Structure 1
């Protein structure tokens, strides 16, 4: 019995150490699962989030996560879903993640979206300012800032920094004010896709150099074409997969260039163009 308990403890500790958020990680739901987003304390509640095929912002071939809050009573009455001790746990500060970027589509009723987090110390925080999403049935891309100054403490004895350095649970919810447990009891449908762990330091555009780049086709199957309106010198080109692993590295020395992506796996990639001072990142979908 003691050996069994010891083994169980070791497994739990190992699992906890494996859960670590990474800059540029993306939940794109192309694998047909909810990628550990759920509702209910046990994670097995009915009417929880589901994976929906061909419903993402890119249409056919693009999956997304969909959750319907019932607005009545029970676990699914509130507009809130969460990830616990998985890919969205760990040290956000060390990872350099101070924004969450995602595609959102809301139906039935408008939502006021926030991000709430709980640290392993039990302290709970929620973003002070909500982002209003109208229920117009169209996709939009939003960024939720999650730096230290963007949160209000909801409960617990720790500070915001103590949570951001050791996140255990993260929630996406709708509420009129910062909260953990009192999300809106509302009848609404939300679809989310391409939930990206981002950094405000990586979103500076080359406005001074007038070199904002474009990519095409997007989605694409065989080639990734990169075009610059102008260039003052050599730029570095890097492409990362959803786990933050670099899959391509090169340089751009002319206005138009292309990368063969035929052998890349289907999914979302981050295309990053940079020089010594600035970085710009765009999202590319490989079909």
Structure 2
């Protein structure tokens, strides 16, 4: 299921600036024009700042800017997560954007943005060397990336590699420009948007593995689970996740029975049995 936000913890920011054609430059938008928070009440500017694309107030046009996470409702730690940015506005034939991902708790850069389309997008660094800005990495359009992908609409996709074992909240802030390409920076519209996200350690799809060496029963269960196996083993690790990928139970065991908290909510869960780095069994169970 896709999660998206229409204009209205990591943070993704988007902006487009300097769509005025001169040379066939690949600079894209300048850094630090996303409107993202810096610290306290301080924020980056947008492409309506500094005399650029400032004919109209930000978010005053009829355009629609959206940000989507294409692989679910939460980002997956240690995995590449795919984002799509879309700007649509009737009557405009050039568009641009810039994006950044920050931690919600500190407004610092986190993870790694990866290109999926080097023709239309590029990664740039911050121009400022202040503490909060110096490590920020942005993805923005190239010259070729300002061309609409369909009538009155432009889309850009990119991947973001989330850190291992990190599930704290992040947000995607966005600012994009709809430009009329009249050789001037006037009569263009600037938009901003943001998409907050939480993280998960696993994807639900990872649990569709069947290993006949283990049997976990009963299913559905109440308080106790039993594990039957013909394998000889010492200590194994049992993990239980809800369907959002949140870790609910983590227990080491050497016997054949797992006792779970009676306070656990009824519903479907995903389990994993592992030995060291090796996953021995995964599946789905229901608590009643």
TM-score (normalizing by structure 2) = 0.33
More relative contact order, 1 or 2 (CA 8 Å, 6+ apart) = 2
Larger radius of gyration: 2
